[in-house]
Every structure is written in C-alpha cells, then in structure tokens.
Amino acid sequence: MLARALAALAFALGLAQPVAAQEVTLRLHQFLPAQSYVPAEILDPWADRIEAASNGRIKIERFASMQLGGKPADLVDQLVDGVVDIIWTLPGYTPGRFPRTEVFELPFLLSDAEGASRAFWQTAEAEMFDTDFKDMHILGTWVHGPGVIHASRPVLTLEDMAGLRLRAPTRITAQLLEGLGAVAVGMAVPAVPEALSKGVIDGALLPWEVTSSIRAAELVHNHTEFPGRAIYAATFILAMNSDRYAGLPPDLRAIIDAESGAAFSAMAGRMQQGADAPMRAEAVAAGNTVTVLSEAELARWQAASEPVLAKWLADMAAAGIDGAGLLERAKAALAANGG
C-alpha cells in the first residue's frame, strides 16, 4: 500500500515538473555563396537573433549556393513541398508565378531601397499575401539598391546598347533590355561569372552590392549608372513553409514575427543599398570606368522603356489583375515611404 502511494506521489510530482523546452530545427536554403553580402550580413544575423531570442529552442541551419540541390528557380517549390523550411529568393526567378511583385520591378520607378522595401511590404501585406504568396508564409520583402549596367564596352548613350548581350534577372528586365536594343540573357546571379568569362554575355544588370562576390568588376570594366531613378530593382522574399510556421508553438512564432516583417524588410533594403558604395569604390580603385548618364540622356531611356509598362499592364489585364490600380497604390506607398 505504501509503495503504491509513493508511486502515485512520484507520478504527481512528475506531472508538476516543467515540460522540456521544444527543440525546433529549420532549414534555410538560398542561392548565393555564404560569404556574399546578403547571406553574411542580413540572413545570418536574422537567424542568429531568432536563435538567441529563443534561448536555443530554435536552430536555423543555413544552406548556401543551393547545397540541398536544385537550381535557384526550384527554391519556391522546395519550400511549398516542405523539402526546406525557409527560402530567400527572387520571385522573378519563377516568371508568372508572382505577377503582382513585378510592379516593384518596373523600370525607373524606384529611388531608395529602404523606402521601396517598406512600400513593398505594405503592398504585399495588403494585396499579395492572399494571392501571389498564398502558398507560403512571408517573413520579409525587399529590393536592392539601384541597378547598374556592367559591360565589356562603354555604354554612354542609348545607341550603345545595340546588340549588347546582357544578363537579365527577371522577365521585366528581359523585356526592358530587348526594348533598349540589347540582347537579354536570363540567368541567376551565380551563373554570371562563368557566362562573362566564357563570353556568353557581354555584361549584366546588377546592383553594385553583389559585384564583389561574383568578381563582376574584374571581368568587365565599364559601369553605367542612372541619376535619380533605378533602371531596375529586383524584388526579394524571405519566406517560410506555411505548415511549418503554423505548427510552431505560439511563443516561437512570436519570436520569428518580432524579427521579421516591415521593419526587417526596410532594414534589409537599406543594408543592401548601403553596401553599394564600397563595391563601387573597389571598381573605381581598380581603374574601371563609371559613367553616370545625364538627365537628358536619362529621359531618352525612360521614353524607350515605356512599352515595358504597357506590356505589363496588358499582361496583368489578361491575368485578371487590375495592374493600373496596383501601380497607383504602389506609387502611393513609395511616395509615402520615400522609395
């Protein structure tokens, strides 16, 4: 009888003990080398903060350069299918899948990455979370600093684009380059160095920030910038598998939420644009030529890019999306946030 009572007491005491902290391991997959700016300076610190805030209950394993297999265009399916838990990627790597995001990729629309990234988050939250992004949980949305033409020969005027084979990161930029007289070659960033070294392309559309990690300024020596407005900016998303997110305990979801969202997106945009200047300085120090177009020349490029907007509006209409309304709301968000 005494043994039975002691056993019951031990059982009751056991129930009163705190439950062991739940361990959660999340796998983050992305396409750039680990030492590149975004993984090293944005994604790793973000993951580190979450791990620290969770007191080790969350572990985020980071897989760079498509280490888990596939190509950059496969990242979205890997996330949705549950192969990985978190991805960082460009919506533009899967053309047609995220049509509304393209509003922030239209030519000569953006000027400041921080403000534009905040505007992107606000617009996505209002209009894309339940549409373009309905199959995932969005943690961050941002853009990089103003795009630059990096080429093997000088691009001083619109006419210099004729026949130039340039890397295009997205569907919109491919249309833009073709409309400006160049030959657009679609490819993800990791393929650019080999394509340049083998002469497959004559140059690339890229922000300054990424040029160092892929040696772009070593492989080509002419760079063309645009005053005031970016010729293009690519959109980025940091996203989590919806079921994986929903299955986390509420307190762990709250930790992830606190490190994600509008403020994180704006910070990521600011940091990427902030990294442009040092990379630009490296190219200048190496003796490369940086050309900033005049306002008059810029106006010619803007006029030549107008068919891209017309084509995008037509594509949106064909998809049943009010592109004109979306563009006006995006412009209003950009204006309100200084983007």
User: What confidence score (pLDDT) does residue 10 get?
Assistant: 39
Dist. CA 212–CA 33, nearest whole Å: 12
Q: How many angstroms from the chain centroid is the CA of residue 42?
A: 11
Angle at alpha carbon of residue 154, lines to 149 and 159, rounded to 5°: 85
Confidence of residue 63 (pLDDT cuts 50, 70, 90): very high
pTM comes to 0.92
Q: Among residues 326, 336, 338, which one has the least CA distance to residue 101?
A: 326
User: What confidence score (pLDDT) does residue 12 get?
Assistant: 40
The residues with which 224 forms a beta bridge, in sequence order, are: 149, 291
Task: Enter the DSSP assignment of 17.
Answer: S
Q: Is the pLDDT of residue 332 over 80?
A: yes
Q: Give buried/exposed letters for 168-206 (b at 16+ CB in 10 A, else e).
A: bbbbbbbbbbbbbebbbbbbbbbbbbebbeeeebbbbbb
Summarised one tens digit per residue, pLDDT across range 286-306 is 999 999 999 999 999 999 999
Confidence of residue 28 (pLDDT cuts 50, 70, 90): very high
User: What confidence score (pLDDT) does residue 19 get?
Assistant: 40
Dist. CA 70–CA 239, nearest whole Å: 18
Q: How many helices (H) and strands (E) does the chain have?
A: 14, 11
What DSSP string describes 74-117? GHHHHHHTTS-SEEEE-GGGSTTSSGGGGGGGSTT----HHHHH
Q: Is the pLDDT of residue 5 over 60?
A: no
Summarised one tens digit per residue, pLDDT across range 81-124 is 999 999 999 999 999 999 999 999 999 999 999 999 999 999 99
* Host H or E run for residue 119: helix 113-127
Q: How far apart are the first and last CA of the chain?
A: 76
Q: In the predicted model, what is the mean pLDDT of the chain?
A: 94
Task: Enter the DSSP assignment of 38.
Answer: I
Confidence of residue 21 (pLDDT cuts 50, 70, 90): low
Dist. CA 338–CA 213, nearest whole Å: 29
